[in-house]
Amino acid sequence: MALSLSPFTLLVFLFCFTTSLLLCNGFPVHPHHHHPRFAKQNYRDALTKSILFFEGQRSGRLPPNQRITWRRNSGLSDGSAMHVDLVGGYYDAGDNVKFGFPMAFTTTMLSWSVIEFGGLMKGELQNAREAIRWATDYLLKATAHPDTIYVQVGDANKDHSCWERPEDMDTPRTVVKVDKNSPGSDVAGETAAALAAASLVFRRSDPTYSKLLVRRAIRVFQFADKYRGAYSNGLKKFVCPFYCSYSGYQDELLWGAAWLHKATKNPTYLNYIQVNGQTLGAAEYDNTFGWDNKHVGARILLSKAFLVQKVQSLHDYKGHADNFICSLIPGAPFSSTQYTPGGLLFKMSDSNMQYVTSTSFLLLTYAKYLTSAHSVVNCGGTTVTPKRLRTIAKKQVDYLLGDNPLKMSYMVGYGRRYPQRIHHRGSSLPSVSVHPAKIQCSSGFSFMKSQSPNPNVLVGAIVGGPDEHDRFPDERSDYEQSEPATYINAPLVGSLAYLAHSFGQL
């Protein structure tokens, strides 16, 4: 069929053809931009939702501007068993226990997301700050007494034998602490890191609060370093197997010192890192970054001081960070990372998505440091550019958001198809507004076992994700694949801000 164009269409066509710098929609073309103009994914929408999720995990008295409205106040007497105020903070995942170790790591990663990419977040920056502050207000309460940290509220075994809303909790709110007699350098080091990182977030917007956070971080780190030991040694029956410290406490001491170095600029911490780095495992070949093992994160963070601030004594951390990067590059020498057939980074079957989000964040952050230092990664003769790191990170985030064999978004409430039966008590039980009467401990299990979609959509929650063959059954009982967690979301916040900005969505 011959193509007939009206004079008007012809004019428009000619105009667009001849105006090389303008697209038909009136946007200038940037030929040197890192990315194409249009992305398959709406990173801005995903960013908004990734932060909103934290409101669904809040414990304590909810504020008037609470946006996830099916949640209500909960845990209002937390801490009373030990005559301390431990109201607030976050439930870590789909249960009603407050675990201090992953909560502190979540706080550090949310803060790092804002430190690196907060300048790109526009209207979401304030929401991100509020998510951080909900955690730091709690961590300040948990560290109010010198040489003591309250590291858990709730008895996990008893909590897990019930399926009930946080608003209905009647299982023991056991309070667990570390102190001089039962130390926990891992949980204390991570708490110090969280407070120090958050102090940087509030430095301009709330200098008084920022100073309070950094002073507390210094004190908590001194406790972590002086009374050394893994917290799961003394608290095994409370914290294992849930958040046992498998990697030891050395990584948290290095990580805590790295954040205090960044937050205070006090040479004491640089000296501490120089003297203790090797014994704390700086050069170990462990390439899993998450709530338990911080070595890789510390390497990336300290490499910035060398690459950007030119602190020559931290030269080795660039090499250590490069080793981690080389382990991820498919086909490169020293590559040791498994990917699913659909291209998802795969570390382990239980909550694998946490490693996807944390690794993607490290890739984008390291790419930022390398770019500002005009540097690259060398993997046994293969040169890896910052652009390549960004491409790998984007592919992981895109997979998470729906660019995968199942065409399934692993973020609840994002995209056309997402998990309907997540392993989460509050989401799976009718809300207090719909069902004001208490739902008893064991009667909740009928909802848990039902095949119906969850009545309350926990918007922004990222689940554990598919298996090594890209399969995802969407079953509520399958906590390994279907349970969301705060530490899955926290690193993704920074990556989404970067990608939304890159594609002109913010």
Contact 33, 500 (CB under 8 A): no
Contact 96, 164 (CB under 8 A): yes
Dist CA 338 CA 111 (whole Å):
29
Parallel, antiparallel, or unpaired: how do β-strands 377-379 and 382-384 relate?
A: antiparallel
Task: Pick the catalytic residue from 168, 252, 483, 501.
Answer: 483
Which of these, 381, 367, 380, 374, lies nearest to 498 by C-alpha position?
Answer: 367
In three state form, how does the secondary structure of 401-446 look? HCCCCCCCCCECCCCCCCCCCCCCHHHHCCCCCCCCCCCCCCCCHH
Question: What radius of gyration, in Å, describes the C-alpha atoms of the chain?
Answer: 23
Dist CA 353 CA 481 (whole Å):
9
Dist CA 105 CA 257 (whole Å):
15
CA angle in degrees (0–180, nearest 5) for 272-277-281: 145
Contact 176, 152 (CB under 8 A): yes
- Compute how many other C-beta atoms are within 10 angstroms of the C-beta atom of residue 11: 11
CA angle in degrees (0–180, nearest 5) for 310-250-239: 135
* 252 flagged as catalytic: no
The string over 155-169, giving b where at least 16 C-beta atoms fall within 10 Å of a residue's C-beta and e elsewhere, is bbeebbebbbbbbbb
Q: Which run of H or E residues covers position 378? A: strand 377-379
- Compute how many other C-beta atoms are within 10 angstroms of the C-beta atom of residue 308: 14
* 30 flagged as catalytic: no
Helix runs in 329-385, H state only? 353-372
Task: Pick the catalytic residue from 261, 295, 423, 424.
Answer: 423
Task: Pick the catalytic residue from 190, 322, 474, 501.
Answer: 474
* 468 flagged as catalytic: no
CA angle in degrees (0–180, nearest 5) for 91-94-99: 35
Contact 164, 94 (CB under 8 A): no
Q: Please say whether the dihedral angle defined by the alpha carbons of residues 380, 385, 387 and 389, taken in this order, is positive or negative.
A: positive
* 474 flagged as catalytic: yes
Tell me 175's DSSP state.
E
Task: Pick the catalytic residue from 95, 116, 164, 168.
Answer: 95
Name the residues annotated as catalytic.
Answer: 95, 423, 474, 483
